[in-house]
Amino acid sequence: MFPRLKLNHPMRWSRIYSTLDSHAIRLTSGSKFVKIKPVYGLRGSSSADFVSPPNSKLQSLIWHNPLQNVYITKKPWTPSTREAMVEFITHLHESYPEVNVIVQPDVAEEISQDFKAPLENDPNRPHILYTGSEQDIVNRTDLLVTLGGDGTILHGVSMFGNTQVPPVLAFALGTLGFLLPFDFKEHRRVFQEVISSRAKCLHRTRLECHLKKKGNSSSIVTHAMNDIFLHRGNSPHLTNLDIFIDGEFLTRTTADGVALATPTGSTAYSLSAGGSIVSPLVPAILMTPICPRSLSFRPLILPHSSHIRIKIGSKMNQKPVKSVVNLSIDGIPQHDLDVGDEIHVINEVGTIYIDGTQLPTTRKAQPEFENSKKPRRSGIYCVAKTENDWIRGINELLGFNSSFRLIKRQSDNE
C-alpha cells in the first residue's frame, strides 16, 4: 500500500488496485487544480533513433514521431525533488501542451496538492497527470526523466526490466551523480534540445543475467545497468564459487563474493572492492572479487562478448551443506542461491558461444509487456551534456589523483 501524506486538508482518493487487471487503478485527485487520468488511454510508446555523427563519440537523438509521453520519476519523499517535479511539470504543461506527463500513482498522490493554480489561471485548465500500473506506464513511455541521484536512475530503468528502455534525461538532485550531467536549473534549455532533436546521448550497455536453479532446465532473466553481485549476506561463512569463462574453468574462489559490472557500474560497488574505473565507451565486463581469501585473485576486465558462468559450490573435501548466497542486481535483492545453482552473465547484445556452451532456456520473470519482444536496440541512451562528462565526473566526484591537502595545525603557527 502506498504511504499517505498528513495534510491539513484531507484528500479525496478512490483507489482500486489489482495485480490481475492492469487497468484497475483509478485515482481521483482531491485538488481542484489537478486531474488524474488513466495512462492506458494514451498511445503506445514511440521509439527514437540514434545517429552517430562522424565528429562525435555521442549519438544524436532524433524523434521521427513527435515526443508525447514523458514519464517522470524522482527520489521519494524529499522536499527538493518534490518542488523540482512540480516546477518541471508546470513548465511542460505551460510550454508543451502536447506533452503528456506520466507519474507513478504514489507520486501523483504526493504532489497533487502542491499545484496552487490552474494553467494560466483558467479554472477550466487543470494540470493533467497520467498514471496507472507499471505495465501500462512502460508500454507508453517515450522519454524517462529522473530527478534525484544515481539510485533514482537505476530504479527508473529497472522498471523497464527486460524491455527496451526509452532515452533517459537525468537531473542532479541527489547524493551521487556519476550518471547526472545536468543541474536542474538547466531543465528548460535541456528539454527544449531533447524535444527538438538537438540533444546528444551516451550509449551505456547492460548485462543480462540468467539465474538457473539446480534441477531446473529454465532460467529467470534480469538486466543490469550497473552491476550483478553474489555475496554471502548475513552468513558467517565465505562463499565458494566456481567461475567459468566461455566454457573454460577459470577458478574456484573462496570469498565474500564477486561483482560483475558494466563500465557504467565500474564506479559503484566494483570500485569500492578494488576494481578498475572503465569508460562507458569501452566494450567490457568487469569481474571484481569481494574480499577473496587468495590474494592472487585480482580484478579482471573481460571482453564484452564473454559468457560468464558462476556456480555455487561447497567447501572442498566436505559434503555439501546448506549455504545460501545472496544475489543482487543494481542493488535490488533477487532470489537466493543454494549449492548447485548458477548464473550465466552476458552482454545484452549477446555473445559467441564456444565449444558448445549455451544459455539455459528462459522463462519470464514478470508479466508480458507489449514491447517485451526482442528489443530493437540494446543498452540505454542517456542524454549527455558534453563529450567529456565521464572525465569531468571522475575528477569532480572522485577527486581523481588529487594530492593530499596541506592542513596547518594550530601548533605550526605558534
Cell output for 182: 545536468
CA neighbor of 155 nearest in space, from 332, 336, 327, 19: 332
Look at strands 248-261 and 239-245 and give their pairing: antiparallel
Mean pLDDT, each 10-residue run in order, the chain (414 residues):
40 38 49 90 94 94 96 92 96 96 94 86 88 96 96 94 94 82 95 97 96 90 96 90 95 96 96 95 97 93 96 72 86 93 93 78 53 63 93 86 63 52
- Catalytic residue flag (residue 150): yes
**Amino acid letter, 18:** S
In tens, the pLDDT along 352-383 reads 777 767 888 765 544 444 444 444 578 999 99
Measure the CA–CA gap between 52 and 58, rounded to whole angstroms.
7
Measure the CA–CA gap between 257 and 327, rounded to whole angstroms.
10
pLDDT of residue 1: 41
pLDDT of residue 412: 52
CA dihedral angle for residue 215, residue 216, residue 222, residue 226, rounded to 10 degrees: 20
> What number of residues does the chain have?
414
pLDDT of residue 264: 96
Residue among 150, 227, 246, 341 flagged as catalytic = 150
HSE-up (13 A, CA, CB side) for residue 310: 25
In tens, the pLDDT along 208-259 reads 999 999 988 888 999 999 999 999 988 888 999 999 999 999 999 999 999 9
φ/ψ of 257, rounded to 5, equals 165, -165
Contact between 103 and 129 (Cβ < 8 Å): yes
Measure the CA–CA gap between 335 and 214, rounded to whole angstroms.
13
What global pTM score does this model have?
0.86
pLDDT of residue 118: 83
pLDDT of residue 360: 81
pLDDT of residue 236: 87
Measure the CA–CA gap between 216 and 115, rounded to whole angstroms.
52
φ/ψ of 224, rounded to 5, equals -130, 130
φ/ψ of 130, rounded to 5, equals -105, 140
Q: Residue 332: which residues within 8 A CB-CB, separation 6 or more?
A: 158
Measure the CA–CA gap between 233 and 392, rounded to whole angstroms.
34
Look at strands 380-384 and 200-204 and give their pairing: antiparallel
Q: Which domains can be identified in the chain, with CATH numbers?
A: 32-202 (3.40.50.10330), 206-345 (2.60.200.30)
Measure the CA–CA gap between 340 and 52, rounded to whole angstroms.
44
φ/ψ of 140, rounded to 5, equals -125, 10
Output the 3-class SS for the chain.
CCCCCCCCCCCCCCCCCCCCCCCCCCCCCCCCCEEEEEHHHCCCCCCCEEECCCCCCCEEEECCCCCCEEEEEECCCCHHHHHHHHHHHHHHHHHCCCCEEECCHHHHHHHHHHCCCCHHHCCCCCEEEEECCHHHHHHHCCEEEEEECHHHHHHHHHCCCCCCCCCEEEEECCCCCCCCCEEHHHHHHHHHHHHCCCCEEEEECCEEEEEECCCCCEEEEEEECCEEEEECCCCCCCEEEEEEECCEEEEEEEEEEEEEECCHHHHCHHHHCCCCCCCCCCCEEEEEEEEECCCCCCCEEEECCCCEEEEEECCCCCCCCCCCEEEEECCEECCCECCCCEEEEEECCCCCCCCCCCCCEEECCCCCCCCCCCCCCCCEEEEECCCCHHHHHHHHCCCCCCCCCCCCCHHHHC
Look at strands 342-347 and 380-384 and give their pairing: unpaired
